[in-house]
Structure 1
Amino acid sequence: MPRPLAAVTAVVIVVCGLSVRALWDGPAPKYAGDALYTALIYTLVVIALPKVRPWAAAAVSVGLSWVIEFAQLGAIPAVLRPVLGSTFNAPDLLWYAVGGAVCWAAHALWLRRDTSARNL
């Protein structure tokens, strides 16, 4: 996936995450934010490694999200809490996986479409 496309996708994900939190209350925007957090990590992986396979980018993004969540069982420095969170919440682990799975599927479909277009 080209870096410019991944960069635009990252900006869209951030806008979506901020919008969901600003417009709605309750658990839905919180868990949507979790999935979007992993999606942002996914796009950052793709920006760093444009030829990365979708399964590998998904594994890294979900794994990193889970590591950050489990780190919340310990002490997160106050300066990092706005980005990394401060309270462990087990359902977040599921929503990180959802975010990674959606990104994996979208990336795999995009690669398949791109390959098909080149073969025409």
Structure 2
Amino acid sequence: MAGSVPVVAGALSTAVFAASTMPMILKAIRTRDLSSYSGGNLILSNAGNLLYAVYVLSLPLGPAWALYGFNLSVSVTMLALWLRYRAALQVSAPGEGLPRPLQDVEATSTRILLEA
């Protein structure tokens, strides 16, 4: 019985972490606005995950593997999205208009100015 308490705690912590992280990922995918994310932080997160693999791979299969797998997939996904959307912002030509997130900011700014 005592051996199962850490496994249950690990499983619950994995579920809580996944539930708390999914809205962030879904919003980033939906809005394509990752301007609030630090590229340095995303790179360090991925580097840390690669180093952490040495430890996790030495453990028996269990909740730690699930949490690590989820954390790794989140950090890789967020870095890829950050790089992709950052490149899209830099590539858009002046005649093509603003990328979607900037259009929303511009429309909101204009609406606020007109209402004032």
TM-score, normalization by structure 1: 0.36
| Rg comparison, structure with higher value | 2
TM-score, normalization by structure 2: 0.37
